[in-house]
A and B are shown apart, each in its own frame.
Chain A
Amino acid sequence: MDKRKNAAAVAVPVPAVLTEIRDEIEDVKTFYFRFEDPELERSFSIRSGQFVMCTVFGAGEFAVSLPWSPEKDRRHLSVRNVGKVTSALHALGVGDKIGLRGPFGNGFPFEEMAGRNLIYVAGGIGLIPLRSSIFHALLHREKFGRIILLYGAKSSKELMYRPLIDEWRRTEGFETYVTIDREEPGWTGEVGFVHTLIEKAKVPVDGTTAFVCGPPVMFNAVIGELSRRGLKDECIISTLERHMKCGIGKCQHCAIGRTLVCTDGPVYTYRQIKTLGETI
């Protein structure tokens, strides 16, 4: 994977202005922003799968995955209100400023995937870190085999990016399956855990790379099903989440086994994850 340094801000956060805030699902909002510095607004570049350290002034800093497509998208962060800093972010409004450092981390290894089938399996807000990668795959549709999204959430209220998913359903060459855990009035789609979609979508094994992201229970069920069908560990890719303070491989909070999620990850193959010797 490309370990090129592309971080625009390493030590001191650069200011960005919130331009729009959207409610996604309960406790999750999407924050669109632009950098205050026009030069940075033009040049800030990311690779799909990287992350930034986001400062909420007066509250602190947290690591957050990047959902936007580097090629065709507005820059934004989708964040769940779950702790001290993220709740302070949720209290901000349009026009408020945040600070960003990064981007950090390795990103998805697309150069190794030409000609392969890409299977995206996401649970709940696990779709956020995969979003950028899906955009990349669809923009370069001709480079890949089948492209499939299997997405599940507890209920229809917890499905992220609903308008986008509707758009994806209509996109030719993109097989989109969505499921919720239990029956609901008015829901006509699939019902059941997301790993049951693997059977329904007739997911191929040969020449396939699977991107898996979601809560640990879902992750283990999906990996189990994919492995049972014969998908090799090195063809399963995930992006891990850890408590981080620096983002540049110094504070060591995100150490798993012999790796640091901030500089060696956050994207790992399942083969690597298995050797790390720690729970997901």
Chain B
Amino acid sequence: MYLLAKSDVPRFLSALSARFEMYGPQVHPVSGDVFFDKAADSSSIRLDAPIPANSPKFAVFPHWERILSYAYDRETKDLRIVPEDLVRPKALVGIRSCDLTGLLCFDRFFLGQEFVDEFYRAHRRRMFLVSVTCVSPFAQCFCVCTDSGPAAREGYDVNLTDLGEAYLFEAGSDAGRELAASLSLPPAGPDAGRRRDEVIDRSISRFEAAAVENKAWISRAVNRLTTGFVKNETWEYIGQQCFECGACSFVCPSCSCFNIEDVNRRDGTTERLRTWDSCSFEGYARMAGEHNPRRPVEDRRNKRFFCKLSFSQSKKYLRPGCVGCGRCVRVCPGDIGMANVVTAIRREITGK
């Protein structure tokens, strides 16, 4: 463990920016909103900013991405297929433990199943991850219930914890240790671990009581969803509330459904684009010939929560897909973010 003086943060960021494309939390100059975004200049990254409105997943799984382009001339039968040549190494700086956990879910899902997703691997290769211990949870946050925060335990190259005058710099990989050495960071004192734990305890005490109390109910929801014992009326209620806007999927750090579409350009070439998709959209499962096995909205809602919490999906992530970031709670216009779905399942069990 090392200490990174706050006055040294710019030096730390610029050392990274020499080798990586920089991504981090930035505060919008007019609205004051915080977004996780690519930073042209590393000095615009704010490690002490509140939790970004979006998850950093777009850095490994872009909103839209060209995965292939081709040109086919029907006259000459000439065909040229050009695979996309990806990608500059990136550093994601200042990601919260919830978002880091989402990224680890992605790793297991995209890299660890029967097939490897080459496009994901291209983004993820040589990536440098700097997580920060979260000291300012939002009212909607519940990572303490999903075992994914407020401090990261694995998967980072560097984890930073705010100790007041300096950050505690914990290296989680050889790349992280090399960076500490190259910056000549001073070692942290013997009480650093204790002080870090105090910061984490203080952060946990800031979570709303409701978030902490829900912990047991998330386990019950996992159980009910896995065994299929959630009543149809509950899904119907959730379906009635759903606006089918897809916002929950788009802000979710572990949602990774995508669509693939071939788009013709004016110069005669075609781009194969991979874009974000959401299981809440009516056309999601629709086949050619208008056969749609999943037309009713409650069928589709049921799918999303099954995906986030059921045991069979958790086997792919090696943990539940929900990382407790609370963003779906914040963005849902129908008020059926994860917390309220768990509450609906609780009501079904207890009648209250």
Binding site for B on A (CB under 8 A): 3, 5, 7, 10-13, 15, 17, 55, 57-62, 80, 82-86, 95-97, 99, 241-243, 245-246, 248-256, 258, 263, 277-280
Contact = CB atoms under 8 A, between A and B. Distances in A.
A280 B264 CA distance: 34
A61 B68 CA distance: 13
B252 to A, nearest CB: 13
Nearest to B228: A277
A99 B119 CA distance: 19
A97 B115 contact: no
A5 B68 contact: no
A249 B74 CA distance: 32
Interface in B237-271: 256-262, 264, 270
A83 B228 CA distance: 35
B79 interface: yes
A254 B286 CA distance: 10
B270 A253 contact: no
Contacts of B284: 243, 253
B293 A60 contact: no
B262 A83 contact: no
A253 B117 contact: no
B294 A278 contact: yes
Contact of B258 (A10, A15, A250): A250
Contacts of B70: 57, 99
Given A246-B258, A252-B307, 16 more contacts: A3-B114, A11-B83, A17-B77, A61-B262, A80-B289, A83-B288, A242-B293, A243-B285, A245-B260, A248-B114, A251-B260, A253-B284, A255-B279, A258-B306, A258-B310, A279-B293
A256 B279 CA distance: 12
A86 B313 contact: no
Contacts of B279: 252, 255
Nearest to B313: A258
B285 A12 contact: no
Contact of A97 (B72, B118, B260): B72
Contacts of B205: none
A256 B284 CA distance: 12
A51 B202 CA distance: 55
B335 interface: no
A57 to B, nearest CB: 4
A256 B285 CA distance: 10
A222 B281 CA distance: 32
A251 B81 contact: no
Nearest to A97: B79
Contacts of B277: 251, 253
A263 B109 CA distance: 13
B27 to A, nearest CB: 34
A93 to B, nearest CB: 9
Contacts of B312: 258
A195 to B, nearest CB: 21
Nearest to B81: A12
A251 B256 CA distance: 7
B81 to A, nearest CB: 6
Contacts, number: 109
A83 B289 contact: yes
20 contacts: A11-B68, A11-B83, A15-B79, A15-B81, A57-B70, A58-B72, A58-B270, A86-B288, A242-B287, A243-B287, A246-B260, A249-B113, A249-B114, A250-B113, A251-B257, A252-B307, A253-B284, A255-B279, A255-B303, A258-B310
A82 B288 contact: yes
A57 B256 contact: no
Contacts of A253: 257, 259, 277, 284-285
A85 B264 CA distance: 13
Given A11-B119, A83-B288, A263-B113, A96 B257 contact: no
A80 B228 CA distance: 36
Given A61-B262, A241-B287, A278-B299, A252 B257 contact: yes
A254 B279 CA distance: 11
Given A59-B262, A83-B288, A251-B277, A278 B293 contact: yes
A250 B258 CA distance: 8
Contacts of B68: 11-12
Contact of B285 (A15, A96, A242, A246): A242
B67 interface: yes
A95 B75 CA distance: 10
Contact of B115 (A58, A254, A263): A263
B287 A95 contact: no
B270 A57 contact: yes
B156 interface: no
A60 B261 contact: yes
A27 to B, nearest CB: 10
A204 B78 CA distance: 54
B87 to A, nearest CB: 14
Nearest to A14: B81
A10 to B, nearest CB: 6
A251 B259 contact: yes
A80 B287 CA distance: 13
B114 A5 contact: yes
B110 interface: yes
Nearest to B268: A58
Contacts of B72: 57-58, 97
Nearest to B283: A243
Interface string B272-302: 1000010100001111110001100001000
A95 B77 contact: yes
A254 B287 CA distance: 10
Nearest to A251: B258
